Amino acid sequence: YCSNLANNQLSSLPASLSSLTRLRKLNLSHNHIAHIPGCVYNMKALVFLHLACNRLENLAENIQALVELQILIVEGNSLHSLPKALCCLTRLELLNLDFNDIKDVPQEMHQLSRLEKLACHPLDKGLHIVHNPLLKPVKEVLEGGLTALFNYLRAG
């Protein structure tokens, strides 16, 4: 159950794809998507969602519907911020936010306890966030790794 729609200049998906409720992997990278298509939120079995190199400026709160998600890749977009709803995806093991326009992260992000570390190598599990104009948390916090980041967020 895998669908690869990468490199197709797509800006949307037909609503009929909502019926793919058993789909586990969806690759929509390298397209022209500005908003995650609504049908994606019905694909509740997704464990892998690849949206790198699109035109996303935000992630909708609906993202929390994808409760099985373990890998979410949204690098190379224009994300400005992250919704608190993202922090409900407690099964995430890899969250790639590199090369966006993110200035701060939600305090609730420490709930993503399966992200084991701040990751550098593209294939590593963990949180990829370094290539962003972060104002909060500051660079010094990130130098302490994921534990330092989560402690920082818990402290509010």
pLDDT in tens, 71-105: 999 999 999 999 999 999 999 999 999 999 999 99
CATH number of the domain enclosing 89: 3.80.10.10
Q: CA-CA distances (angstroms) from residue 48 to 8, 64, 72, 143, 145? A: 19, 14, 6, 28, 24
How many domains, in total, are found in the chain? 1
Low-confidence ranges of the chain (pLDDT < 70): 1-2
At 63 the pLDDT is 97
CA nearest neighbour of 37 among 49, 22, 45: 49
Q: Name the 3-class secondary structure at 155.
A: helix
Domain that holds residue 96: 1-153
Give the phi and the psi of residue 87 in degrees, each rounded to 5. -75, -5
pTM: 0.93
Q: How many angstroms separate the CA atoms of 29 and 107, rounded?
A: 28
Match 């949206």 to its residue by tokens.
51
pLDDT the model gives residue 122: 75
